[in-house]
Chains A and B, each alone.
Chain A
């Protein structure tokens, strides 16, 4: 029973981090119809900035700087690159973000080099705590709480603010919302800003001994990869789907690694996604595109 509680807590904590990444992913997709393959790199970049800032500053200010940096990088990618490729199809824009991802990943991995792997979860990393009679890692619990707060905040903003209204309008119909006076570029840019920021927050949980494992920040790009199946599983057009997908991926991963083995866990995540896609080709909550002849 304690193993099961452990697996569930781990899964929910990890899933919450995936949900943060997948949510950013979906926000960007809804605003621009672009799949952002550079999402892992946004997280990695934020983590790298935090790591550098931590050499001079305490933990919390460094994290703030890193999150802002990741958000700005997202904004820069959109403003400098994606908005210039006006004639490109969404698919080729996705490929463009693959190029961005390769450049950022290569450069940061080079900078980190072969030195000791950096870890970013100072206040909670490797500090076990007791919950429902089981011993669980504090990282998962903190991640779950922070993620739930942020996700709640996002949904409130999405529902009740002008920004949220503009986002929803543009996702519904880009031309109509432009005719209604919504500045398209602002919506798009802010989506990348939010997506980058969420990735920057996610990385402080990824680059830990508990979730990322022994190689710390270096592993976070690989771990963040699971945000793709999470977002696709939930449906790329649905923010709720991203949260459900993230938690589902986290739970699958932790239960499979607890009861089968670690290598099977990453496969299990993709198998679950395949199963969902076979039944619902647009994901659990995704909008099914209709073909008009």
Chain B
């Protein structure tokens, strides 16, 4: 699967930049090799953390394009995650008396799930096109409430809120990502479910990044930024405001849908709706976390959203591995990893808005400029 990681990033090339392009390709190949070998060296529990970061990163990329590039504030991202996850579970798993399922091939199901999420985003267009700024933000929040209620009303689709339902893992033209008795070895390390899913997630993240970059650097991205900066001006310049807004929402939802499918895979196939609207995988809290990732990384920056995901999604999982202490028995008022993470990223949001509006990506650009000149 590392071939997909090495897929070239499409960029406009200037004459004197051939050296830089060569360096870029070399870096991409090197990154592919690193990803290929990483499962052989890194412990499984760290791979799981990396995978969760990549899930968050794919979702955050979609949101950062919507908020940062197209200028539409959305707090509904987890709703589209839920749609993607449920759609995958329904398409991929076989139907039983308890759950509806079509038993389609898993790859096709994943693609369909992403398309269903995109369609759900496009369906929201009549509302998202009319509203602006904070009105849109609160209006989109209603989708999360709606999703929570629907998922709990329809356990035959989404699985029950107490135990959930299971969906099969991906089978990529015979390469089974959920294999139980691995026959593939890298450096004499067996590549089981976790290792294989890690490759899959790395490939998906790379593809999502490449596609997002392509969209942002091209005509689509210019249209979004025109709408973001001044709708009236964009309309005068011949950009269809309604279409651009709908497209931004659909593409962002497609990313969220992919992140939703990845979430199901990350939970080893478990699709379980939340038991409370502000607590759980698809809750309002996580919807706000996604926004936090985008802000911390720098609104509109794809690379920044990866950093944001590493902080917001990675930290609560990584901290217990670093400190390796029993947090369950630590009592009610302890600084648990989640508490520490929340305090850090809450404070980071405040500091970034005040001091560095372009986020960590802006800091990075500044650092680069210091070195270059």
Q: Which A residues are closer than 8 A to B by beta carbons?
A: 35, 81, 84-85, 87-88, 90-96, 98-103, 105-107, 110-115, 222, 225, 228-229, 232, 236, 263-264, 266-267, 269-271, 273-274, 277-278, 281-283, 289, 291-293
Choose one: B126, B135, B149, B332; the contact of A282 (CB below 8 Å): B135
Contact B139 A277 (CB under 8 A): yes
Q: Are B332 and A81 within 8 A (Cβ)? A: no
Contact residues, B267-298 vs A (CB, 8 A) = 277-278, 284, 288, 291-292, 295
In the complex, what residue of chain B is closest to A29 when comparing beta carbons? B134
Q: Is the CB of A281 within 8 A of B131?
A: yes
A292 CA to B236 CA in the complex, in Å?
12
Question: Top 4 closest A-B pairs, CB basis?
Answer: A113-B332, A99-B349, A270-B142, A114-B332
Q: Check B346 against A106 for contact (C-beta < 8 Å).
A: yes
Q: Count residues on chain B whose CB falls below 8 Å from chain A CBs.
A: 49
| A88-B354, A270-B142 known; A263 vs B149 contact (CB < 8 Å) | yes
B residues in contact with A228, CB < 8 Å: 138, 141
CA distance A99 to B344 in the complex (A): 10
Chain A residues positioned under 8 Å from B164 (CB to CB): none
Contact status A81-B354, CB under 8 Å: yes
Query: Residue B353 at the A interface, CB < 8 A?
Result: yes
Residue in A81, A100, A105, A106 whose Cβ sees the most chain B Cβ within 10 Å: A106
In the assembled complex, the Cα of A222 lies from the Cα of B279 at a distance in Å of 10
Interchain CA distance A228-B73 in the complex, whole Å: 15
Hey, which chain A residues are within 8 Å of B146, CB to CB? 267, 270-271
By the criterion CB–CB under 8 Å, are B142 and A85 in contact? no
Contacts of B132 in A (CB 8 A): 281, 289
Q: Is B345 an interface residue (CB 8 A)?
A: yes
When the two chains form the complex, which single residue of B137, B231, B299, B347 contacts A103, counting CB atoms closer than 8 Å? B347
One of B127, B138, B334 near A229 (C-beta < 8 A): B138
Contact B127 A267 (CB under 8 A): no
**Smallest distance from the beta carbon of A108 to chain B beta carbons, Å?**
11
- In this complex, which of B138, B295, B339, B347 has the most chain A Cβ atoms within 10 angstroms of its Cβ? B138
Bound Cα distance A293, B237 (Å): 12
B108 at the interface (CB under 8 A from A): no
What distance in Å separates the Cβ of B371 from its nearest Cβ neighbour in chain A? 26
